[in-house]
Amino acid sequence: MFIVCFLASLLGPLCGIGGGVIIKPIVDAMGVMSVSAVSFLSSISVLVMSHSTLTQNAVSRQSEIDTRSMVPIAVGSAVGGVFGKAVFNQLGTVLPDTELVGAVQAAILITLSLTVLICTLNKSRIRGLMLERAAAQASIGFLAGACWSFLGIGGGPFNLAILVFFFSMESKPTAQPSLFIIAFSQTASLVFTLATGSVPAFSPVVLIGMAAMAVLGSVVGRRLLRHMDSSAVDRLYIFALVLIMVICAYNLVRFTAL
């Protein structure tokens, strides 16, 4: 789990992927803990990685975030994050088997990943938008934050797609704004979880280890980024989407079989 967390956290600084979208399905596939515990620990790892990376960028004065333009979507994402977590908690009480929650999450992830992959491979044919109104930006952020929180992921690869197609950004420069959005949504989700007392059972050692690996991944990822251009980021991004679909397909079969 620590190795998975470290490798997934490398993707944060490199292409704005929070890592949870990799950690969540892989740990689900391991079958070592409940779906709710995996979602929580995955969210914590993403939260630590995003704040670590943003702090390093700020300290080294390498931040490329236009905070003013990103605040509406980030705040919308934070509100959506709380909503998504509430839906996740409610679904866990409605479905007779908690494993079905994991099956629903896997199916949604496959659908989203395939959609984004198709759009990414054909992005030269797709005309991007440029949303400038704060209300529209906040609405996009809300929908994204709600979905990512429900899935127990940072939403990195999908945030990247949103920034590219709704804000006409290039792949490489979207990494930092994506992490900025992730930091907002995951912080709000954590506060909600603590406030409602819905923290699942898990080993403190696992939490500490995953948090440490998230920080280490953010440090190493920032160094690797110096040697990559936008085309390399695009290839890594596509690889991550394919990997997500393969793992989630396995999980969907496993959860439904149970």
User: pLDDT digit string (tens) for 225-240?
Assistant: 777 777 777 788 788 8
Q: What is the pTM for the complete model shown?
A: 0.75
User: pLDDT digit string (tens) for 96-137?
Assistant: 666 677 787 788 888 888 888 887 787 777 776 777 788 888
pLDDT value, residue 173: 65
Under 8 Å between Cβ of 16 and 235: no
**What is the biggest distance separating any 2 CA atoms in the chain, rounded to whole angstroms?**
51
Question: Does residue 189 surpass a pLDDT of 90?
Answer: no
For the chain, give every domain's residue range. 2-257
Please name the residues in contact with 256: beta carbons below 8 A apart, sequence gap of 6 or more. 103
φ/ψ of residue 254, rounded to 5: -65, -45
Q: CA-CA distance, 16 to 14, in Å (whole number)?
A: 6
